[in-house]
Amino acid sequence: MTSRLLLTLALIGGGLASAIGVNDIPALPPGVTTPAPMPTAPAPAPAPATPTTPVTPPGSTPSSLPVGPALGQAHRATLSGPATLSVGTTGEWTLQLTNTGQTPIHLEHGACDLKFEVLNAAGNIVRPVVNNTVCTMQLVITDVPPGQTRDVLSIHWDGKDASGTPLPAGNYTLRAVFWDRHVTIRPPEVQVTLR
């Protein structure tokens, strides 16, 4: 059998095959039935995580909103809600996502993935993002077919600052961002008059 194999190799491979014989194959040391595994290279270090702390471009108002990679599909985002809020009431603003591209948008996110902050007329943050809110571990699926608009999530603001103190009447800017740790959707700012 071995000589037939060597003859076949010699005919196929030419001179190289005929130069290799059974005696040229190294034997394993006594007591070893399988060769030792080859050492493997260490796994590469994981890439650094996407920054999740606020980044303020030069010349713009600082922000407490999280940042991350933008949604890579054509879309338009708006924050729909009241332009006027009476002291002592709570307003609701809804992130509406319009798919302006040719492929469906599919989001799998949490129920608290829409964050917001409020700025006064001087541009100071008077109500920063609140991160210690109680949120369900609910998975929300939002599918937006091409050419369609869907409500994603809503936020509520009661006209108070971060400590729960009512803010004085005046003009405020509401900024929001949808951030599910994989994608960011940032609608334009909304002006709200507090009366």
Q: pTM for the whole thing?
A: 0.68
88 pLDDT tier (thresholds 50, 70, 90): confident
| Exposed / middle / buried, residue 162 (Cβ in 10 Å: 0-12, 13-18, 19+) | middle
pLDDT tens per residue across span 109-134: 999 899 999 999 999 999 999 876 66
**180-189 burial: b if 16+ Cβ within 10 Å, else e:** beebbbbbee
Instruction: Give the sheet arrangement for strand 91-99, strand by strand.
Output: 75-80, 91-99, 149-157
Task: State the pLDDT at residue 5.
Answer: 47
User: For residue 71, which phi and psi values (nearest 5 degrees)?
Assistant: -60, 125
The closest alpha carbon to 189, from 133, 135, 130, 121, belongs to 121
Domains and CATH numbers, the chain: 1-28 (no CATH), 75-194 (2.60.40.2360)
Task: State the pLDDT at residue 36.
Answer: 54
**How far is residue 117 from each of residues 59, 150, 173, measured CA to CA in Å?**
19, 23, 8
Task: State the pLDDT at residue 21.
Answer: 53
pLDDT tens per residue across span 15-71: 444 445 555 555 555 555 555 555 555 544 444 343 444 444 434 568 989 889 999
CA 193 to chain centre: 33
Task: State the pLDDT at residue 114.
Answer: 95
The rounded percent of the chain whose pLDDT value lies above 90 is 56
pLDDT tens per residue across span 3-30: 454 444 444 554 444 445 555 555 555 5
- Beta strand pairing status for 84-85 and 190-194? parallel
